[in-house]
A and B are shown apart, each in its own frame.
Chain A
Amino acid sequence: MAAGVAAWLPFARAAAIGWMPVANLPMPVAPAEKNKRQDELIILNVSGRRFQTWRNTLDRYPDTLLGSSEKEFFYNEETKEYFFDRDPDVFRSVLNFYRTGKLHYPRYECISSYDEELAFFGIVPEIIGDCCYEEYKDRKRENAERLMDDQEDNKDAKLPNMTFRETMWRAFENPHTSTMALVFYYVTGFFIAVSVITNVVETVPCGSAPNQKEVPCGERYTVAFFCMDTACVMIFTVEYLMRLFAAPSRYRFMRSVMSIIDVVAILPYYIGLVMTDNEDVSGAFVTLRVFRVFRIFKFSRHSQGLRILGYTLKSCASELGFLLFSLTMAIIIFATVMFYAEKGSSSSKFTSIPASFWYTIVTMTTLGYGDMVPKTIAGKIFGSICSLSGVLVIALPVPVIVSNFSRIYHQNQRADKRRAQKKARLARIRISKTGSSNAFLHSKRNGLFNEALELTGSTEDEKRLSKSTSLLESQHHHLLHCLEKTTVSVLILELFNHEFVDEQYYQQSYLEGGLQNYPSRSPSLSSQDGVTGTCCTRRTKKHHTPLPNASAPAHMQPLTHTHTHPQGLQELSTIHIQPLSTSRSSLNMRVDEPAPLNCQSSQITTAIISIPTPPVTTPEGDAHLPAGPAHQNVVKVSAL
């Protein structure tokens, strides 16, 4: 029931008295009206701007936030008003909806912010009034297209495990993904051009012997042209078969437009091969050669503009149909008129109505060849009317097609621009994220520094450092610290845990993992010096360094390693770090050096933690772990 109707319900109920004398049965009892309170004003404070309305106004729509008891959550006892921390400008529209029953969409408002506000207040956007609905829908569609374009780009990404077939298909569809694909792309493009040029040149009259009439080049150099044609067709056939093999859904591929064009392009050749012996059908064979020109459509894989044109024509099919229909109507009308007008004159070219069609078409499209000209006065008058109306009829649907093309073209331009800007945007976002990850590491060092200071007892330095982090930041950092402390490897006696680390360290340690020893600093570590030898010896060594890149050492180790070790988890952590980062490990242990850590933080991109993989004691588990790239077991934490 609409809003205003609720106000008339008392009237409808009162009017029901008109039924009473007619009724035979007793009426049901009316619902009791509990605490019939007087209508009161309520104050809605939206980000400081106060709106006031009757409570009944809001009660009109009980399935929204303001109309139900949900607004009690926002009630402020001290000020006796309902406080919403939302946009007051959009709230105007929302409140007007309650008052008038119509929801309007303000044009200057961003569509997604408006949607969010509506979702917050529990209002379905479909009830936007007709005055604003179209605009709303248009903007929403535009926005969705924009987001969809952004998502589409992601599918270019290479999935880790692609079969040969999938790789091939991807190479065919996106030539820029690999060099081979690019080479193939250009080669096929070249051959298409060669084939088309061959077909064209074939018909040019070559120089001839003086006593003979001119023959086209095709007949003069038959063998050469035949060889060229054969080569091109072979290339196209191979390409088609490869695409057919690689296609994820062969049936769908065979039905697609491009594949049909491919088939039509190469078929005449094969039919020609089969049919050369039979002289009767040579006429048809000649006709088939016309289809060779379809090879030029193969260029649409290479040109985006062509694809846009094709797509535009497809989307304007109704306008084109209308154009065709109206033209046909006009042609028939004028042809008939001209025929009868010119019937009287002698030696008239307008021999029949279909013969007049040609005149009408030529005149309406303002070509005016002049091969058929009206001679009578009536014919001339109608001819001039015909040409004037031709201009009008053709000019009407064309702007629609043009605007469609323009819209699609601009959309594509925008998509390309967004794709180009995307890299820069992502890089900027990454930098800002690493800023926050840096803050955590920085605060950790500062915390360490604070501990050191506590030991040494200087207070003003401590104050200087502590005020640089806000409460929120410090709580966040504490949380991350707790996570670090949680990921304790259970089987090892000494307490070391995985830590957040800079990517730089990760990479360095990953590369030099097998090469360096960790100079032991931990008092709890056994004093056995590690020898970088076989992985087994490394494993039995108790020099563990707390590094989160658990899978990396596993990756480094040869796959043939099948030893079962009791310390299943440890093997994942036996990576050696260079001395530069020793100070990091010292966070776990007591502080030996109070000097601030000299971590280079210039090229940090993301912080990485790794999920400690469950302890594996089976050989298969061992072999499984290193499968795949190292970062499979590593979880990137970038949104700090």
Chain B
Amino acid sequence: MFTPSKTNQMRGDLQHFRKDYGFSRKVLLNCCLVRRIITWASPNPQDSVEDELELSAVRHRPEGLEQLEAQTRFSRKELQILYRGFKNECPSGVVNEDTFKDIYAQFFPQGDASTYAHFLFNAFDTDHNGSVSFEDFVMGLSILLRGTVQEKLNWAFNLYDINKDGYITKEEMLDIMKAIYDMMGKCTYPVLKEETPRQHVEVFFQKMDKNKDGVVTIDEFIDCCQNDENIMRSMHLFENVL
């Protein structure tokens, strides 16, 4: 049969697969097949050689264990454990955004975690190539679990700053806040109202924005957080996760 119908059929099958539970199947397919299908079904015909390169790039192999050991603060064994879990869920070696969203959504069944996962993905994907490789993953985790408070706060600021311009505006914060509240879902007590995120943003800005210029810079953020007891204590909360 002709290729286009085959790809259509495969796409149809894929969508059929996506409906099901079974997390790792989706991950597997999404990692490899989605890229393949998009490659094949794309209208501009590429060179077959480039296709091969594209495919081979999908199978990503991380840097050596020693290098990662040097770059992160994890021990060898911890890296092994992390990689085993990572590779098990994503045999091709990279996580793309949809998979990332699916993984993260599994932890928050009541609400919609896709928006927040999108922001998280951007925070992890430091080189902005659309996929999170094992190195990105491990670097991010290293900061979050083994970094200094300064580094952690830096990471958080990076997360909130959606357009990475160095300033957190009210709109950005509102987006983040809405994403966080979306994760809660509808079944909360008391019921979340429409303006709750907005109010929360107001509270945040009142606390953080010292010079009242409507944006929060990195220094304001770090200073304010370091003066807040609760935040400081919570930064150490997940230290022994791994």
Which A residues are closer than 8 A to B by beta carbons?
A: 1-5, 7-27, 30, 33, 36, 38-39, 54, 99-102, 129-130
Of B46-54, B56-64, B81-89, the stretch lying at the interface with chain A is: B81-89
Extra inter-chain contacts (6) besides given A7-B86, A18-B159, A18-B160, CB under 8 Å: A14-B144, A18-B120, A22-B180, A23-B234, A24-B203, A130-B20
CB distance B103 to A19 under 8 Å? no
6 interchain pairs (CB within 8 A)?
Answer: A2-B23, A11-B137, A18-B123, A20-B156, A21-B225, A24-B203
- The secondary-structure label for the interface of chain B is helix
Please tell me which one of the listed residues B152, B231, B241 contacts residue A10 in the complex, with CB atoms under 8 A apart. Answer: B241
B110 to chain A, nearest CB (A): 13
B221: A residues at CB distance < 8 A? 21
CB distance B85 to A7 under 8 Å? yes
A10-B242, A30-B237 given; A23·B24 CB < 8 A: no
CB distance B200 to A22 under 8 Å? yes
Q: Which A-chain residue is minimally distant from B17 (CB atoms)?
A: A130
CB distance A14 to B145 under 8 Å? yes
Q: Which B-chain residue is minimally distant from A14 (CB atoms)?
A: B144
Please tell me which one of the listed residues B77, B104, B225 contacts residue A12 in the complex, with CB atoms under 8 A apart. Answer: B104
Please tell me which one of the listed residues A14, A24, A39, A102 contacts residue B81 in the complex, with CB atoms under 8 A apart. Answer: A39
CB distance B234 to A8 under 8 Å? no
B162 to chain A, nearest CB (A): 13
Q: Does B215 contact A (CB under 8 A)?
A: no
A27 to chain B, nearest CB (A): 4
A10: B residues at CB distance < 8 A? 82, 141, 145, 241-242
Q: Which B-chain residue is minimally distant from A16 (CB atoms)?
A: B238
Interface residue tally for chain B (C-beta within 8 Å)? 51
9 closest A-B pairs by beta carbon, nearest first, are A7-B85, A14-B144, A2-B23, A20-B234, A4-B89, A27-B234, A5-B106, A4-B24, A26-B230
CB distance A17 to B23 under 8 Å? no
The CA-CA distance from A38 to B242 in the complex, in Å, is 11
CB distance B144 to A17 under 8 Å? yes
Q: Does B233 contact A (CB under 8 A)?
A: yes
Q: Taking each of B81, B200, B235, B241, which has the highest tally of chain A beta carbons within 10 Å of its own beta carbon? A: B241
Contacting A at CB under 8 A, from B101-122, are 103-104, 106-107, 120
A4-B88, A13-B241, A14-B145 given; A21·B77 CB < 8 A: no
The CA-CA distance from A535 to B44 in the complex, in Å, is 107
CB distance B24 to A102 under 8 Å? yes
Q: Does B31 contact A (CB under 8 A)?
A: no
Contacting A at CB under 8 A, from B206-242, are 221, 225, 230-231, 233-235, 237-238, 240-242
Q: Taking each of A5, A14, A30, which has the highest tally of chain B beta carbons within 10 Å of its own beta carbon? A: A14
The CA-CA distance from A526 to B141 in the complex, in Å, is 97
Please tell me which one of the listed residues B22, B106, B141, B180 contacts residue A19 in the complex, with CB atoms under 8 A apart. Answer: B180
Q: Give the number of residue pairs across the A-B interface with Cβ within 8 Å.
A: 119
CB distance B107 to A17 under 8 Å? no
Q: Does B177 contact A (CB under 8 A)?
A: yes
A101: B residues at CB distance < 8 A? 22-25
A70 to chain B, nearest CB (A): 25
A14: B residues at CB distance < 8 A? 140-141, 144-145, 238, 241
CB distance A11 to B141 under 8 Å? yes
A15: B residues at CB distance < 8 A? 104, 120, 144
Q: Can you list, as one digit per residue, whether each of B70-85 has a CB less than 8 Å from chain A (1) or not (0)? A: 0000000100011011
Q: Which B-chain residue is minimally distant from A11 (CB atoms)?
A: B141
B74 to chain A, nearest CB (A): 11
B124 to chain A, nearest CB (A): 8
Contacting A at CB under 8 A, from B154-202, are 155-156, 159-160, 176-177, 180, 200
Please tell me which one of the listed residues A12, A17, A25, A129 contacts residue B230 in the complex, with CB atoms under 8 A apart. Answer: A25
The CA-CA distance from A146 to B238 in the complex, in Å, is 57
A2: B residues at CB distance < 8 A? 21-24, 106
Q: Does B153 contact A (CB under 8 A)?
A: yes
A17: B residues at CB distance < 8 A? 144, 152, 155-156, 234-235, 237-238
Q: Does B27 contact A (CB under 8 A)?
A: yes
A17-B144, A17-B155 given; A8·B89 CB < 8 A: yes
A17 to chain B, nearest CB (A): 5
Please tell me which one of the listed residues B17, B107, B156 contacts residue A9 in the complex, with CB atoms under 8 A apart. Answer: B107
The CA-CA distance from A404 to B82 in the complex, in Å, is 53
CB distance A3 to B144 under 8 Å? no
Q: Taking each of A2, A9, A11, A101, which has the highest tally of chain B beta carbons within 10 Å of its own beta carbon? A: A11
Q: Which A-chain residue is minimally distant from B224 (CB atoms)?
A: A21
CB distance A12 to B107 under 8 Å? yes
Q: Which A-chain residue is minimally distant from B119 (CB atoms)?
A: A18
The CA-CA distance from A330 to B111 in the complex, in Å, is 50
Q: Which B-chain residue is minimally distant from A18 (CB atoms)?
A: B159
